Structure 1
Amino acid sequence: MDLFADDTRLTPMPIDDGELWFQQRLPLDLAPDEVMRRLLAETGWREEEIQVWGKLHKQPRLSAWHGEASYRYSGKTFHPQPFTALQLHIKQTVERATGRRFNSVLLNYYRDERDSMGFHADDERELGPEPAIASVSFGAPRTFILKHRHLPKKVQLALGDGCLLLMAGALQKHWLHGINKERTPRGPRINLTFRLIL
């Protein structure tokens, strides 16, 4: 049975120790390339420095934090810019698709195959004990990798243009996730991760 035969519905994926849901196409009333173009133009992208093992490093991607609450990770507090009209439209569509409420979004802009996201869990205290993180991708596909913290288990997903991924339940407690650099040339990609800051 093809899990993704119906690309208009959020479908549970089999995974231990948490919840993982996937929808191949978020039903926006804008084409994904138009969303990508507007996100590139309307977002105040920054190359942030974060603290890893006591040292400051530039993140290998550009990012922006928007919404209603500040957020602290990797030794730095991020103060939000207001939601743009497009971000609000995407957020409301994600909330309808997932049945969850969100008040903030982290945007990451992967300029090419050299940009990446190190393995981590979204387990900060202000997200609560079992946070729901809704991830929407636009642009070139990239491989999203989940690694179990305690067992030799790994899940890889190709996140394509306009897809929605929901991580929920105890997933952040038991799994790390990230995106590796790639050798094959890749075009630009923007990822929005919606979350509820408590």
Structure 2
Amino acid sequence: MESRYYFSIRYIPEHVDNELLAGRCISNMHGFLSHERNTQFKNSVGICFPLWNEQTVGNVITFVSTNESILTGLSYQPYFSTMMNENLFEISGIRIVPDDAKDVRFVFNKTIQKIFNGSKKRRIKRAMKRAEEFGHTFTPISVEVREFELFHEIPINSKSSGRDFVLHIQRQNPVEAEIGQGFNGYGFASNQLWRRTVPLILF
């Protein structure tokens, strides 16, 4: 099995918004991997929340990759260095994942977004516009709200588009390790295309 590496960040203050800080960490990772020098690695880094529970994603975020050098570069990003220098983050060194580590999968579930009114309204408007283009009358009908297993919302700010959005993340556990496939641009698996797993390792 191909070797994997990781480093972890722990949020030091006792009372913080774990999801907000996770979003900022992920945004910085996304920006780093989107840089022209690193685009070949943009699907190579995964996210793990080892202290995930029903209330929160936890105060630790772990970055995992088979590429040790890309993790080293990521760990030295200015945002991480600043937060560490201000005693807000504790950052581990780059370590190799033990062979006996258990794997989990953190999934970005886009389907969850569709249960929220903002998304529903946008989809209805698009459907109405398409119907008008073909000379049809479109009447929105009530759709039963789907129920989902536990998920957490992570706010993200896209530096490229300048817009804010939310990642709806679920945890699948336990699963067999899958190393051969990549992650999406924010370090997560998806319901279909991206199925890669991450090791469950504490800080």
**TM-score, L = length of structure 2:** 0.27
Higher strand share: 1
Larger Cα-atom Rg: 2
Between structures 1 and 2, the one with greater helix share: 2
